[in-house]
Structure 1
């Protein structure tokens, strides 16, 4: 993933105003990595070992000050018995970690081949996968550190530390690792099934939708455009923008910034990214780390990415090599669910305001027609060969027509008409055409 920054316009929107969130996209970028959680876990394991070793040293020092040498001898005996277990654990954990990675790679390969390569991101962002790997690595490191604390001296008066507390913590971490391994296998098996995968994609899409603002009065036309700022950095997909930083930069100069590309667009160096409306131009320093570019779209701020994934899974399911219309129907269920949720949402643009309520950043989001086309076009093109899919698609469009206001019915009517025409051209028999064009919420219930 590469970070770039840019300076350029986007069309000013009509509705939707919100104040920016202060949190930067750093949290989402870290969730898309696989190194941060294990590294943090190793640091925590080292800190826990340091505290536990200090506690063990205090216990031995206290007993020696009380001249309770018999108790120290008992601790030494218990610790020696635990040493064998800790040694076995330290050597077995790496094998266990290898098993986890093997399961992960097989699951990722099957998911990317059976669904779409874009679902690999679900495994990368999986909390249970990261937590399991983190605890396994932390247990391995902690057990190695504990082995360094065993004292070769047997005289209770000369022993400086007995790793009793540390050994107990190793046992607890092993039990936790086993429990997490069970949860990890269960979670991985679920993510290899169609239903949980499309459900996860849909929930991610609704999280993005929840960040969209409600309808507000139109703030009016923007001031004339005075400058454009070009993208500086590597070419790539526009992942997200740091809204709070852009709003601050625009507020300092007393201008309004307009984001030209939408989230998910591919940008190349030199193309305009932000447009400046008003007198003054934010400095390059103020606009650093405001536009984030990467190699693949994410669902952080991308309203259409969920529909893109669902459409890809459904399209692959309808390919002659797979021929799985039931999976396509499951994807249509979720596509209709998402479109029904946005059918009355204000779309077109989002206006981000500063603390005083003044609009400082205008950001385009997909229009209603764009979302309908994204969710239905490609599946509709393949539905003519599968009555199950055509019947479910017609039922979904009819449901959306009941919910859609008058000004949003046109894209739905267009897709319904095109589907009916395609089926009539493809099916030679009247009875077959009639069957394929009968709306059914289960496809063929």
Structure 2
């Protein structure tokens, strides 16, 4: 399922796929109306189809030629505006967010509508000549072409509104956060304690290593397939990489523990269990969406942009994402066979790494901005009700301690430093109080 999800994610990012499908549908519609359109109008009273085009072939050709010229102009405008917006978004929000705009279904459908209408009008236009009588003109096909052009005009207005709102930083942050929440729900189990994460002690000797012989980002690791291979070979596989890591061709990517090395066929099967490509995807990578949000905040905090309020909006969304993560089980790190023997030990994202990814870089970039430091402290304090384990509590308290060190070391005014430290102490008190209440409740 994760391989399939990875394929779906990659297909959604292809700007050409939906326009191609809509263009094929437009060609099919043109062929059907040209060959069978007359049958649709049989039995209709002429008074009831006043909307139907009733001109001759010459005027129909002139009409479609004008429509085609206008459609080409509008399509050129749409494409030009798209590239301008992508350039602005790359400069302000980060080049890696271009994929988010390209994956927008509404933008893809509008481009598909324009391209499909152009192809439709071209097909209908080439069937018109002066030898056609009044009965030979495909009236309904010409009428549909006019209607599609009107729809394109309305779509152009919607497209301008869509693009204007798409580059507003808060809207981009909201969309990335929504995608991140969807990824969290897809990747992490809903019930706590559903996955095994405690790493067992390795009591089997090391029999060799496997390098993946491919350079690039790990997108998906098929751990169930690795467990099957380990069962067949009677070994234990320790996976040293995870989704989101960049690999060199050589390295100890998988360590084999057992009495003997694996066969060449098994080694190739292990390599086939990894999907490695040129870019990261969120199919298994929890840090993917967090990293996108952090990149927006870092660009907002850069001297060239200096927009701390966008960084504050990102911090709020990061807090909401961590809140959901803390209430779910993290990805499994151990796979066993049917007899209970450990077959695969995986390296997976933990609470510490996810929280570090969310806040470390922002804290370091905002060392002299009390507004941002205070907001980080407030969000960490608001996470107190969901810190039901010692690991999550210690992680949050550790980040509050790092935040206090930053406030003391940076060149802040005494009043600003005092304000930041006060909010940090309030957050620390909230975390400690809620954790004690939760412990007493469990007892």
* TM bucket normalised to smaller: 0.7 to 0.9
Q: Find out whether 1:180 has 2:160 as its counterpart.
A: no
Q: Secondary structure at the match of 1:298?
A: coil
User: Does 2:108 align with 1:130?
Assistant: yes
- Matching of residue 52 in structure 1 with residue 33 in structure 2: yes
Cα gap change, 1:129/1:59 in structure 2, threshold over 3 Å: closer, same or farther? closer
Shift in CA distance, 121/296, structure 1 to aligned 2, threshold 3 Å: same
- Per the alignment, residue 122 of structure 2 pairs with 144
Q: Which residue of 2 aligns with 1:262?
A: 242
Relative to the length of structure 2, the TM-score reads 0.79
The change in CA–CA distance for 1:245 and 1:135 in structure 2 (over 3 A counts) is: farther
Of 194, 211, 216, 1:236 maps to 216
Counterpart CA distance in 2 for 1:389 and 1:283 is 51
Q: Identify the residue that residue 425 of structure 1 maps to in structure 2.
A: 409
Partner of 2:352: 369
Structure 1 residue matching 2:15: 3-state secondary structure: coil
Whole-angstrom distance in 2 between the partners of 1:378 and 1:275: 32
Distance in 2, Cα, partners of 1:75 & 1:344 = 62
Q: Contact conserved, 2:195 with 2:329, CA < 8 A, in 1? A: no
| 1:27 lines up with 2:8 in the alignment | yes
1:174 is displaced (CA, Å) by 1.7
Residue in 2 that maps onto 1:104? 82
Evaluate the alpha carbon distance shift between residue 254 and residue 29 of structure 1 in structure 2; reply closer, same or farther with a 3 A threshold. Answer: farther
CA deviations 1:206-238 (Å, max 9, x no partner) are: 1111122243264995995766443244x2222
**3-state SS of 2:423 partner:** coil
Give the corresponding residue for 2:96. Answer: 118
Q: What residue in structure 2 maps to residue 202 of structure 1?
A: 177
Shift of 1:304: 0.5
Q: Does residue 279 of structure 2 align to residue 304 of structure 1?
A: no
Unaligned runs of 5+ in 1: 1-19, 64-73
Could you tell me which runs of 5 or more consecutive residues in structure 2 were left unpaired when the two chains were aligned: 44-51, 427-443
Higher relative contact order (CA 8 A, sep 6+): 1
1:56–1:345 Cα change, 3 Å: closer
CA deviations 1:17-56 (Å, max 9, x no partner) are xxx4683632222112222222222222222222222114
Aligned to 1:316: 299
- Say whether 1:346 aligns with 2:346: no
Kindly tell me the number of residue pairs found equivalent between the two proteins. 408
Distance 2:420 2:288 in 1: 30
Counterpart in the other structure of 1:4? none
Partners of 1:75 and 1:162 within 8 A in 2:
no
Query: 2-side partners of 1:75 and 1:341: how far apart?
Result: 57
Q: Within 2, Cα distance between the matches of 1:22 and 1:266?
A: 18
Cα 1:210–1:426 change in 2 (3 A) is same
What secondary structure, in the 3-state scheme, does the structure 2 residue paired with 1:89 have?
A: helix
Matched, 1:294 2:274: no
